[in-house]
Each structure stands twice: as C-alpha cells, then as structure tokens.
Structure 1
Amino acid sequence: MELILIIAVVVIAVLAYRSYRRTQLQTRKQHEITAAELESVKRTADEDITRFGEELQDLDLEMVGKDLGDGARQDYQRALDAYESAKQAVGQVTQADQIKHVIEILEDGRYAATCVRARVNGEPLPQRRPSCFFNPQHGPSVEDVSWAPPGGAPRDVPACAADAERVRAGAEPDVRKVMVGPQRVPYWEAGPAYSPYAQGMFGALGGVMTGMFLGTMLGGMFAGGGYGDYAAGYEDGMSDGGGDGGGDAGGDGGGDFNPFDGGDFGGDFGGDF
C-alpha cells in the first residue's frame, strides 16, 4: 500500500513538473518578439499619436473665441500633456510590453479631449469608455454593438457612433489595419507583438475580448475586468485630481489614474490555435 502511494506521488510530481516546464516554454516563446515586429508596433503607436496631435490642432481651432472655463482648460492641458508624454514614451520603447503604457497615456488624452468639447458645449461629461474597438483612432466609444469576426461568435464590442451605425446597417466597420509582412491586416490579427497595444486600450474588457477571440491570435491575452472596474478607476482618478478630469498626464501618463491596472495579462497567449 505504501509503495502504491509513493508511486502515485512520484507520478503526480512528474506530471506537475512537465506542466510547469511546458508553461515556462510557452511564456518564453510569447516574449520572443523580433526587432522588426517591435518596430512595426512602435510605428503603429506613433501613427496613433500623430493622429491625436492632428485632432488636438482641430480642437484648438474649434475653441478659438470660446470661453473654456477652468474645467475645460484643465482637461485641454491634460490632453496636451498626454500627447507630449506619449511622444516621449514611444521614443523610449525597447520592448513590446512597454507599448501598453504608451497607449494608456494616449487613451487618457483622448478622453480629456472629449471632455473639453462637452464642457464648452454645455453637455454632461461623457462616460469614460474604451476606444472604438474597430479603430482606436476614432477615440472613445459611445456604445456597444454586436459584431462577430470571421468565423467567430457575435459579441458586444465598444464602437464609435459611425462604426456602430455601419455594423447595424450590415456594412464593414472602418477597421484599423497594420502592416504584417507585405499585407495590411486588422490589428487584432497582427500577432503577439500587438498584444500590449490592445491591452493598453481594452485591458478592462478582458473577459469580453477573451470570449470574442477564443481560439484566435489574440484569444489568450485578456483577463478579468469590465466597465464597472473601468469607470470606478476613472472616478478614483478624478477624486484625486479635483473631480474635473484634470489631473496630471505628464511624466507618468496621467497621475495616479490607471483604470487598466489589476488585470492579469500574462495568460496563455493565443489559446489553442
């Protein structure tokens, strides 16, 4: 009887060790991002920053002759600080994982810009939401829309007004595509190097995104969170920064506010594909 127990313990230990080694090898493989892939995702982030800078120029023209008020001025400064911080941060990226921080800064700036317009137009401050899933350059989403990737199940994803209308009309949304080799593909099909890029935008929606892309290239990269955590994180940041969306977007990308913290993005990248 004792011999049987000893054999059982040994077998369990061997199986556990093999499982551990397999996990370690998979994790190591996940982080083997080539220099070309890193440059590609940096270029994508840099394009997003440039697009945001152009939007800030347009915003500046819109605000000419208008009384911003203290709240709008603070939000506008926050957007400008986020733009400068994102430019500085992307230039210092040496590993793909660092892109997540760059995108988080950019997300905060995009939201601050929407707050400026809302304040000047006498509208309520918009709900803090993630960027449009289809194309993050469209800025914060305004609603969720049911959509399914090719071969996938329909799920609700955050979308801007224009893309939500396209999807409901049965048309193709305006998808953010990036270069992978000789062709342009949706960023969510661009491989492991783009995992931190997507995490920076949708980390708080991990559960939704895992279900959406189960069995695909991005299927295993999200975990936990939801709109509740996302909104609560911003409310905490607002209370620290005076309750007006001001805060400090410089240096560390938005002061103490980071609605994306708390999720475990290690996962098993790519699922079983």
Structure 2
Amino acid sequence: MEFILIIAVVVIAVLAYNSYRRTQLQNKKQHEISAAELEAVKRTADEDITRFGEELQDLDLEMVGKDLGDGARQDYQRALDSYESAKQAIGQVTQADQIKHVVEILEDGRYAAACVKARVNGQPLPQRRPACFFNPQHGQSVVDVMWSPPNGAPREVPACAADAERVRAGAEPDVRKVMVGPQRVPYWEAGPAYSPYAQGLFGGVGGVLTGMFIGTALGGMFAGGGYGDYAAGYQDGMNDGDNGDNGGDNGDFGDGGDGGGDFGDFGGGDFGGDFGGDF
C-alpha cells in the first residue's frame, strides 16, 4: 500500500513538473521577439532620433542672436550630447529591451531642448512630463486629456497642446503609426516588441499611466511610479554637472555617454554653429 502511494506521489510530481515546463516554454515563446520585429522597433526609434536632430537644427536657427546664459548653454550641450548618445546607442542594440535605454536618452535630450527655449525666453523651466502619448515625436506633453480608443473605454492620457485640442474638439489626434506586416497601426497596438519603446517613454510614470494601455497590445506593463520620479534623472544629472550621463543608462552601450563630438551629419560639422558661437 505504501509503495502504491509513493508511486502515486511520484507520478503526480512528474505530471506537475511537466505542466510547469510546458507553461514556461509557452510563455517564453509568446515573449520571443523575431529579428524582423526587432528591426522594426529599431527603425521606429531611429526615426525619432532623426526627428530630434532636425529639431536641434531648428533650435540652432531660432537662438541666433539671442543672449545665452550658463544655464541655457548647459541645457543645449546636454541636448546635443543626448542626440549623439542616442545615435551611438541605437546602432548597438541587439535585443528589444535595449530600446528602452535609447528612448530614455532621447527623452532626456528633448527635455533639455525645451529648457533652452524657456531660459532664453525668460520663462519658467517646463515641468518634466511624459511624451505626448499619441505621437512621442511631438515632444513633451503639456496636459492630460480624456480619450477613448475605437471601441474602448475612456482613459486619461498625456498629450501635446495640438493633440489635446484635437481630442477636445472631437477630431482624431495625430497618431504615431508603425508598420506591422502590410499595415500601419498605432505603436501601442504593434505588439510586445514595442513594450520597451513605450517603457522608455512612460516607464517612469507607470502608476499614473497604467490605465492608458488597458485593452491594447501593450496593456498591463506598467506599475508604480509618478510624475515626480520621472524628472529625477534629468535634474540629478544637471546638479552633478555631468552632461554625458543622460540619466545613467548609457553605460549599457559602451561609450555612448561621451556625446558631443562632430555633428557633421548636419553638414560640414557646423551643427550648432551660430548657436555654439555664443558658448
């Protein structure tokens, strides 16, 4: 009798273990990112970097002839360093989760550029907020708005001024879409490959934005955090005077934190020329 009980226990244990292993393998398979998916999300981040570079060119022209203080010069250099670091980092990405660090570097640069404009125009420094949910290329959000996705429940999302106005008027916001197979879809519907991309944009404010992705392909990936924590990395970096730090995550990509360097991609190494002449 005891022998039979021992056999029964062993059989149950083996069955339980096999069930556990099947579940683990299924979960692993579900979270695997194909090479094509990785290239797609890298391309998305690279497009954002290029867009930021164009914005820095515009900022250079906008600041020509304006009086710059030390604060504006430091912020501008931090924006340039972030751009260079993001360019270097995206080229070294081999896994999807590394995209998060690239996006964080870029967001740091966007905030630094916004600070330059505020300082030069004699305005208070902007509050550090998450990117515009609808299209992160729009830069920092300025307000939270109630928005309902197609056939979805209302939720509060951060938006730039233009998209907030569109939503309040009942119009469609300018949504960032990416290619998934033969069709373009909003990035938040593009599947798990885009989770690190979204985490780089909103991971520091998870508690506030958890409901934002409910019912989407990226739903349920945020927890904890708040707007106040989101600004800490940038402010700490400024207090330390380490313009190459970019939030401390660049070390994952080797020398990406050096930044600066030759901005020849924008023509003859003159990127920041007129603006930089005030340095």
Q: TM-score range by the shorter chain?
A: 0.7 to 0.9
SS at the partner of 1:94? coil
**Same amino acid, percent of matched pairs:** 87
Q: Which runs of 5+ in 1 are unaligned?
A: 1-5, 242-246, 259-273
Q: Is the aligned partner of 1:161 residue 2:158?
A: no
1:48 correspondence with 2:48: yes
Deviation at 1:204, TM superposition (A): 1.9
Runs of at least 5 residues in structure 2 that lack an aligned partner in the other structure: 1-5, 251-279
Deviation at 1:211, TM superposition (A): 2.2
Residue identity in the other structure for 2:51:
R
Deviations along 1:61-92, one digit per CA (max 9) or x if unpaired, are: 00111111111011001000111111111111
Question: 3-state DSSP class of the match of 1:151?
Answer: coil
Q: Which residue identity does 1:200 align to in structure 2? A: G
| TM-score (structure 1 length as normaliser) | 0.81
| TM-score (norm. length: structure 2) | 0.79
Alignment CA distance shift 1:22-1:121 (3 Å): farther
**SS of the residue aligned with 1:179?**
strand
Q: C-alpha distance in 1, partners of 2:207/2:15? A: 29
1:100-133 CA deviation, whole Å, 9 max, x = no partner?
A: 1110000000000000000000000000011100
Against the structure 1 CA distance between its residues 80 and 91, is the aligned structure 2 distance closer, same or farther, given a 3 Å change threshold? same
Cα pair distance change 1:128/1:100, threshold 3 Å: same
Alignment RMSD (CA, Å)? 2.8
Shift of 1:22: 6.1
Deviations 1:31-65 (A, max 9, x none): 41111111111111110000000000000000111
Structure 1 residues 17 and 82 mapped into 2: Cα distance closer, same or farther (>3 Å)?
A: same
Q: Distance in 2 between matches of 1:23 and 1:221?
A: 20
Query: Which residue matches 1:225?
Result: 225
Q: Against the structure 1 CA distance between its residues 13 and 150, is the aligned structure 2 distance closer, same or farther, given a 3 Å change threshold? A: farther
Counterpart position of 1:254: 246
SS of residue matched to 1:145: strand
Q: Which residue of 2 aligns with 1:97?
A: 97
Distance 1:11 1:164 in 2: 60
Larger Rg: 2
1:200 aligns with 2:200: yes
Task: Write the distance in 1 (CA, Å) between the matches of 2:22 and 2:212.
Answer: 26
Checking the alignment, whether the CA contact within 8 Å between 1:155 and 1:208 is kept in structure 2 is no
Q: How far apart are the structure 2 equivalents of 1:81 and 1:152?
A: 40
Amino acid at match of 2:94: T
Question: Are the equivalent residues in 1 in contact too, given 2:234–2:246 (CA < 8 A)?
Answer: no
- Evaluate the alpha carbon distance shift between residue 30 and residue 71 of structure 1 in structure 2; reply closer, same or farther with a 3 A threshold: farther
Which amino acid in structure 2 is aligned with residue 81 of structure 1? D
Structure 1 residue 238: Cα displacement: 3.7
Alpha-carbon distance in structure 1 between the residues aligned to 2:246 and 2:14: 47
Give the length in aligned residue pairs.
Answer: 247
DSSP-derived class of the 2:129 partner: coil
**Separation in structure 1 between the aligned mates of residue 29 and residue 129 of structure 2, nearest angstrom:** 33
SS in 2 for 1:133: coil
Letter paired with 1:115: C
For 1:69-80, what aligned pairs fall within 5 Å after superposition?
A: 69-80=69-80
The residue type paired with residue 155 of structure 1 is: R
Asked if structure 2 preserves the Cα contact closer than 8 Å seen for 1:207 and 1:223, the reply is: yes
